[in-house]
A and B are shown apart, each in its own frame.
Chain A
């Protein structure tokens, strides 16, 4: 009979790393008010975990930081959030990167107007 492993050790690392990543992003949120530079540092540490262990960000944490400069996003303080023509437009106030996140699944008029 062949021996079957119940779970790979890599899964365990991933689990621990994912937990740490979420913990770091949560503490970034807590510390942003007092020390924004520390929150950016936590985001960077969380991003390192994410890339090293090939993790996926939970949906709730995807809009919490800038993917270009890895600064923590707090609407009104470190990013600008606007809704325009079917997109949520987030501008990072540190690096200026603009991310457009469409929220309409069907785009009927977009072909004509050329807008997102």
Chain B
């Protein structure tokens, strides 16, 4: 099963390319790069050799899936430990 548009959030985010489309903190908007780590409330994005830690709760992400399509996801839907999200339905 590959990462598809129907079930993007039940799959592994680490390794995918992401861009912060919207955030309540204007300095975070526009950050893009590879997702290198994930915790319950934060995503770590590597941009130009530096790690940027972005809160999920107040941001919207554009995530590039493996099939080349981009999916916009509200960060609020991503909140939760990565291993527990497997079980959740969307």
Residues in A neighbouring B10, C-beta threshold 8 A: 16
Among B11, B37, B84, the residue within 8 A (CB) of A41 is: B37
Q: Given A23-B12, A23-B15, A24-B12, are A16 and B83 also a contact pair (CB < 8 Å)?
A: no
Among B1, B14, B37, the residue within 8 A (CB) of A15 is: B1
Residues in B neighbouring A53, C-beta threshold 8 A: 86
A41 to B10, CA, bound (A): 20
Q: Does more than half of chain A's interface fall in helix, strand or loop, or is it mixed? A: helix
Residues in B neighbouring A24, C-beta threshold 8 A: 12, 14
* Closest beta carbon of chain B to A73's beta carbon, Å: 20
Does B86 contact A38, Cβ atoms closer than 8 Å? no
Q: Is B36 an interface residue (CB 8 A)?
A: yes
List 17 additional contacts besides A16-B10, A41-B37, A45-B38; criterion CB under 8 Å. Answer: A13-B86, A13-B87, A16-B1, A19-B11, A20-B11, A20-B12, A20-B82, A23-B12, A24-B14, A27-B14, A27-B15, A31-B36, A45-B14, A45-B82, A45-B83, A52-B83, A52-B84
A-B contact pairs, 5 of them (CB 8 A): A20-B11, A31-B36, A38-B37, A45-B14, A52-B83
